[in-house]
Structure 1
Amino acid sequence: MTEQTPTTATPGPSTGELRALRMTAQRLAGLVAAGDTEAVRTAVRAQPRLLSATVERAGQDGWTPLHVAVAEGRGDVVDALLEAGADLEARTEHDRTPLHVALDHAPELVDPLLARGAQPDGAAAAYLGDTARLAARLDSGESSVHDDAETSLLQFAALGGSASAVQLLLDRGADPDDGALLAAAHAGQPEIVQQLLTAGARVDRRDPETGRTALHAAVEVGHLESVRALLAAGADREATTSDGATALDIARVAAARDRAAGDGTPTPQDALVDLLEHSPADD
């Protein structure tokens, strides 16, 4: 009788590997947003095509996992995706690269993306205050009025706090009233707030979607100097957002929250409340 040599069974894929093989772009985006770095790494290792698979986010299509990771500020996931070969120059439906997303949503990831090879275009140059690169982009034909995306070059310069980039764009024809004032107020950039007001930005221009003015934005981030500059320019204290909130309403809620979380002593938001309650007629 012939003896049969026992065979060693090849182990099958693990549960995690099977799950990775069934992964969809939408599920992967959820893992990215949750910051599950190991699950993301396993998924893109099993299915490299997922690196370029896109999902819809904030009303626009074309978001790759890397775009989502940057928007969520998930630095570890960004590293994992780049190590797996994610495209740093991938663009959304509205022509946004991961670097653009970082400029808007996660400034702390701008330098790491640049270090990994992201190519700064006009938007990035405006944000970073790289006026030489910005001027070269404008000279090559890039519009100083808008970058054909949701955020104008002037808004990027305002967000980054670069007075020289703001002035360059204004000198090249950018509209000071394109929403950059609200961007500067939200970013806590009082110098840029004043610069844009001087250039002709309307102090009470409302965001078409939210109804917010620059005063609402400055109060939301608790930036006293920006609030002072806006009030000095005649900002309407009674202007309301689309959901009916005045800047004073926002400041009072924030002050109450801060006091509840602390020892009850006055907070920076209390100073904003005092400033907003003080009528010029009292002077």
Structure 2
Amino acid sequence: MPDIDKFFAAIKAGEIETVEAALQADPALANARGPQGLSALMMALYNQQPKIAEVIKAKAKDLDIFEASAAGNERRVITLLAGDPELAKAVSPDGFGALGLAAFFGHAGVMQILLKAGADPDAPSRNQMKVTPLHSAVANRDGACALKMAHLLLAHRAAVNVAQNGGWTPLQQAAAHGNIELVKLLLENGADRLAKADDGRTAATLARSGHHQAVAELLEKPA
């Protein structure tokens, strides 16, 4: 197995000592990319390896707009956009925009910078997931962070009833997580409480499945 393949395998497996040793032997691996263009840093972030991500980030040079957005590096994002404002609308090799990545990883500050630079709050990912930044924002497990990001996107007129792959709307995702404040915010902005996913489930159904009684009752009240 080539060194780069071993390096990426160690990242996915969470083997931080192996990653550190590999970077010690070959620092250039911090900027390595897999066969589909996915960087080492993004591999660590996608696989929920924050400690490894920090190790790689410390060694990596010149993060691109996607890495900087996913890692929450506001200074780097500002620098990149100053050189090329169109990067706010760029799409990564795996189909995600910088705004969606910032939302998914919970970086409201980066999102604000990207939106100011012209990022489209409604742009779906160009892959089979078809997620918008609002989908990514409400999916965040930190309820307060999800609420803050949703406020930001809705202030920029993000569409509230858009469906991702599987027919899931932001309201359904918020209900599944039991985030009642986020559910209230989405309803106040016109979210359709009766919308059904492809499997027929509504936001109320998802709330009840997750034992979020108060959310289910709120959704079942007459509009």
TM-score (norm 1): 0.63
State the 1:239 CA deviation.
1.5
Matched AA of 1:184: A
SS in 1 for 2:120: coil
1:73-92 counterparts in 2 under 5 A? 74-75=13-14, 77-84=15-22, 87-92=29-34
Q: Could you tell me how far 1:51 is from its partner in structure 2? A: 3.3
- The answer to whether residue 134 in structure 2 is matched with residue 181 in structure 1 is yes
Which deviations, in whole Å up to 9, do the C-alpha atoms of 1:222-275 show, x marking residues without a partner?
Answer: 3222222111111111212222221111111111xxxxxxxxxxxxx2222122
Aligned to 1:144, which of 72, 80, 88? 88
Aligned to 1:206, the other structure's residue is in SS state coil
Q: Partners in 1 of 2:148 and 2:218 — Cα distance? A: 19
**CA distance 1:140–1:163, shift in 2 (3 Å):** same
Residue of 57, 62, 74 corresponding to 1:114: 57
1:197 paired with 2:154, answer yes
- Which of residues 89, 103, 111 is equivalent to 1:158? 103
Corresponding residue to 1:97 among 39, 52, 58: 39
Question: Any idea what the Cα deviations from partners look like across 1:148-201, whole Å, max 9, x if unmatched?
Answer: 332211012212333332122112111011210000000141111011112121
For each residue in 1:8-53, what CA deviation from the matched residue of structure 2 results, as whole angstroms up to 9, or x when unmatched?
A: xxxxxxxxxxxxxxxxxxxxxxxxxxxxxxxxxxxxxxxxx3433x
Task: Tell me if structure 1 keeps the 8 A contact 2:160–2:170.
Answer: yes
Q: Secondary structure at the match of 2:30?
A: coil
2:184 corresponds in structure 1 to 228
Equivalent AA in structure 1 for residue 45 of structure 2: L
Q: 1:274 to 1:159 in 2, by over 3 A?
A: same
Q: Match of 1:279?
A: 222
Change (3 A) 1:137 1:240: same
CA shift at 1:121, angstroms?
2.8
Mapped to 2, the partners of 1:220 and 1:68 lie a distance apart of: 32
**Alpha-carbon offset, residue 79 of structure 1:** 2.9
- In the TM superposition, residue 113 of structure 1 has moved relative to its aligned partner by 3.4
Give the greater-gyration-radius structure (CA): 1
Matches within 5 A, 1:203-218: 203-207=160-164, 209-218=165-174
The gaps in structure 1 that reach 5 residues or longer are 1-48, 53-63, 256-268
1:101–1:225 CA distance, 2 compared to 1 (3 A): farther
Q: Residues 238 and 112 from structure 1, CA distance in 2 versus in 1: closer, same or farther, beyond 3 angstroms?
A: farther
Give the structure-2-normalised TM-score: 0.78
**Is 1:245 the equivalent of 2:204?**
no
Secondary structure at the counterpart of residue 96 of structure 2: coil
RMSD: 2.4
Question: Aligned pair in 2 of structure 1 residues 198, 254: CA closer, same or farther (>3 Å)?
Answer: same
Query: CA 1:139–1:215 in 2, change beyond 3 Å: closer, same or farther?
Result: same
Query: What corresponds to 1:34 in structure 2?
Result: none
* % identity of equivalent residues: 30
Q: Does the CA-based 8 Å contact 1:237-1:248 persist in structure 2?
A: yes
Measured at CA, do residues 79 and 240 of structure 1 come closer, stay the same or move farther in structure 2, by a change above 3 Å? Answer: farther
Describe the SS at the equivalent of 2:89: coil
1:186·1:220 contact (CA, 8 Å) conserved in 2? no
Contact 1:103 1:156 (8 Å CA) reproduced: no
